[in-house]
Amino acid sequence: MASLFSCCLGCCGDNNSGHVTLKEMPTVQLDTHHMGTDVVIVKSGRRICGTGGCIANAPLHQNKSYFEFKIQSTGVWGVGVATKKANLNQIPMGRDPHSLVLRQDGTVYHNNEEKNRLPANSLPQEGDIVGVTYDHVELNLYLNGKNMNCPASGIRGTVYPVVYVDDSAILDCQFSDFYHTPPQGYQKILFEQQIF
């Protein structure tokens, strides 16, 4: 019994022999290296304010991604997906081929073209949660967990979640621990090494 005890101490001692240090998986958050010049990111990379846009630090590699935004304060804002080529200082986004966004007025824009529109009685208000699904073809929108049946498509390449604000808008990003259950088959954004 004493030899078993000493074996356990030898294996678990401070010399770290035989142990593999586990790396903590990175957290999906807004990327302060890819944001507009007048953007302010706070709350551990989850809240955006100021003027401009910001993309998340993880691309949407998996087949079906889901993420949410909570409107903390209204103003000019937009949420959706964008490539790293998107101009994060140009508000509103959706004017070029590098972003596909829902704007605060309920319109969905890509390449300066209105792709869809939320129902008139479903415009997001302060305190609402906007959910976004993306499956590499189509972006879909949810308001407080309800499918808005407002698909939009057209963006190409590697995309990231994007959010922009202006005129006192403040939005919080939720990339895990969602307010609402993701639609069937959709899940939180995974870093590439988590997929395999």
Which structural domains are found in the chain, ordered by start? Answer: 30-174 (2.60.120.920)
Query: Which tens digits make up the pLDDT trace of 117-172?
Result: 999 899 999 999 999 999 999 999 999 999 999 999 999 999 999 999 999 999 99
116 token code pair: 């869809």
Determine how many CB atoms are found less than 10 A away from the CB of residue 183.
15
Q: Which two tokens stand for residue 52?
A: 């401009």
- H helices of 13-137, where? none
Tokens 């966004």 sit on residue: 101
The pTM of the full predicted model, rounded to 2 decimals, is 0.86
Is the pLDDT score of 16 beyond 90?
A: no
Buried b (16+ CB within 10 A) or exposed e, 140-152: bbbbeeeebebbb
Q: Kindly indicate the confidence band of residue 86, based on its pLDDT and cuts at 50, 70 and 90.
A: very high
Please give the pLDDT value at position 10: 45
Helix ranges (H only) for 26-123 are: none
The span from the CA of 168 to the CA of 74, in Å, is: 7
Q: How does pLDDT run across 87-117, given as a tens digit for each residue?
A: 999 999 999 999 999 999 999 999 999 999 9
Q: Cα(87)–Cα(91) distance, rounded to whole angstroms?
A: 9
Considering only CA atoms, which of 141, 122, 146, 117 is closest in space to residue 66?
A: 141
Return phi, psi of residue 51, to 5°.
-140, 120
